[in-house]
A = this chain, B = another copy of it.
Amino acid sequence: MEKKLANFTGNIVFVGFGSIAKGVLPLFLRHLPVTPDRIKVVAADPDHEKIAEKYGIEYREIRLTQENYRSILDPLLKRGDFLVNLSVFVSSLALIGLCREKEALYIDTSIEPWEGGYTDTGSSASERSNYALREEALALGRSIKGGPTAIVCQGANPGLVSGFLKQALLDVARDNGITDRPTTKEEWANLARQLGIKTIHVAERDTQNTSVRKKRNEFVNTWSIDGFIGEGLQPAELGWGTHEKHWPSDAGEHESGCKAAIYLNTPGAGVKVRSWTPLEGAYHGFLITHSESISIADYLTVRENGKIVYRPTVHYAYHPCDDAVLSMHELAGKNWQEQPVKRLMRDEIEEGHDELGVLLMGNEKGVYWLGSHLTIDQARESTPHNNATSLQVAAGVLAGVIWAIDNPDMGVIEPDDIDHERMLEIARPFLGEIVGSYGKWTPLENRNWPFEEDIDKSDPWQFKNIRVAS
């Protein structure tokens, strides 16, 4: 028998049973003290693969809505149970609210609105942002101190990357002869400042591939296509650093909240940025909005006498698998009218890896990337029903769930609030190789050729240098 990592006597209710939940389930059964009869699933699609049935788990095919979610979920939840929300199109806020009432634990990997919320042009871009969703979740947390732990955004990214970030800061500190170990938010922020970190990317290159080519009018990806299109059509968002000198012409500021992030009045799926990973080298990624862009920037903000004196720029630079790049290209070509066919690749993947980590820029030693390099073969060897992408996420969920069980009354929690050593300790066995690697890359490398470009040579780490103009 595998080692159980926590003491848990409640029931588990999955909402959503897509690529991530299917990958999480075997981890739960292996590493949590639960038996299949204590797990239930509510999701909108039939379980085509019959995984729930195979494991002997109750599966209810129901499309949750604003109207029905209470009546359906209320009877399934009691004090000490765990609601694991791995759905799309279901409001995280609604589910967190319900869990607080029922004194149940909660986790998700993305703060989601009800269906259509991401592209509801009746609301402003600011209202459709992850910034707004995060502020709402945090406000709910503040409204009652403590309460059952509800972890938002604890997958791989958002999720594990907040742990990678702290490990990376410690590594760079060590290489700069700094041995103090931060223990508070303020100390982490000061360390980042001391190390001269100006910009942080979540730098991801997914190379998973199959010889079954993407067809016309088909969107292919290694995780939720609805999820990717949804966040891709939200405004691009980034934590906005104090070193930035060039305000993007299409940027907008939020009127309330932490103000750690800004948004662009354009879908992230249409914004490309320059980034770097150890295996890929220089690449163009999509600036897709993610909660960690905001939470990390917020977490690392240094205030002196109430004035903000330091914050890094933080955003995602996502190079999805090749077929997803082509899918996004096609989607853009149709002015964001969704492809009628969606294919989530898992068992047909023939090769590749997901190289996912944080890239710290600004320290004198060069850029530093730390993250997981997980191949499809490693993922398959480790855990059934996964590809490399879903297993990285599942590892983050497992870490979050165990932390929540061990810390059950912390209220609304973000990955940045979680002890990163414990988080990575739980996740590490599933992440393939954990790589920490310096590079000499800057976004000014090979620029100004064969045409002069509008760049700021005085500081490579300006967002202006990182964004790809067309």
Min CB distance A141 to B, Å, is 29
| A269-312 interface (Cβ within 8 A of B) | 270-272, 274, 280-284
By the criterion CB–CB under 8 Å, are B446 and A334 in contact? yes
Check: A437 CB closer than 8 A to any chain B CB: no
Q: Report A434-470 CB contacts with B as 1/0, cut-off 8 Å.
A: 0000000000011101111000000000000000111
By the criterion CB–CB under 8 Å, are B450 and A281 in contact? no
The listed residue with most B CB atoms (<10 A of its CB), out of A280, A330, A450, A469, is A450
- Give every chain B residue within 8 A of A121 (Cβ-Cβ): 449-450
By the criterion CB–CB under 8 Å, are A445 and B335 in contact? yes
By the criterion CB–CB under 8 Å, are A211 and B214 in contact? no
Within 8 Å by CB of A270, from B266, B452, B470, lies: B470
Check: A119 CB closer than 8 A to any chain B CB: yes
Interface extent on A, as a size class?
35 or more
Min CB distance A284 to B, Å, is 4
Min CB distance A427 to B, Å, is 27
- Give every chain B residue within 8 A of A119 (Cβ-Cβ): 449-450
Counted per complex, copies of this chain come to 2
Bound together, the chains give a CA A76 to CA B178 distance in angstroms of 73
Check: A233 CB closer than 8 A to any chain B CB: yes
Check: A336 CB closer than 8 A to any chain B CB: yes
Check: A357 CB closer than 8 A to any chain B CB: no
Within 8 Å by CB of A207, from B216, B284, B334, lies: B216
By the criterion CB–CB under 8 Å, are B233 and A330 in contact? no
Min CB distance A122 to B, Å, is 11
Residues of A within 8 A of B (CB): 118-119, 121, 125, 128, 207, 209, 211-214, 216, 233, 235, 265-267, 270-272, 274, 280-284, 319, 322, 325-326, 329-330, 332-337, 445-447, 449-452, 468-470
In the complex, 10 of the A-B residue pairs with CB atoms within 8 angstroms, ordered by the A residue number, are A209-B213, A211-B212, A214-B322, A216-B280, A283-B333, A283-B334, A284-B333, A319-B333, A335-B446, A470-B470
